[in-house]
Amino acid sequence: MDSSRKEVIINEIIYWKNHKMLPDHYCDYLLALYSEGELNNEISDVNKRKHGGKFGILLFILCLIVSVSLFVIYFTELAFILQTMILTSFVVFLLILGFYYSNKEFWYSIFYIGAAFLFLLLSIHIIEKLFNNNSLALYIT
**Which ranges of the chain would DSSP assign to H, the alpha helix?**
3-18, 24-35, 40-74, 80-103, 109-130, 135-140
CA-wise closest residue to 87 among 65, 111, 109: 65
In order of 65, 88, 122, the CA distances from 68 in angstroms are 5, 13, 13
pLDDT value, residue 104: 72
The full DSSP string for 72-102 is HHHS----HHHHHHHHHHHHHHHHHHHHHHH
pLDDT value, residue 88: 92
pLDDT value, residue 74: 84
pLDDT value, residue 8: 85
pLDDT value, residue 10: 84
Rounded Cα–Cα distance for residues 117 and 71 (Å): 15
pLDDT value, residue 77: 84
Mark the ranges of the chain whose per-residue pLDDT is less than 50: none
Rounded Cα–Cα distance for residues 51 and 140 (Å): 41
Q: What is the DSSP letter of 133?
A: S
pLDDT value, residue 116: 92
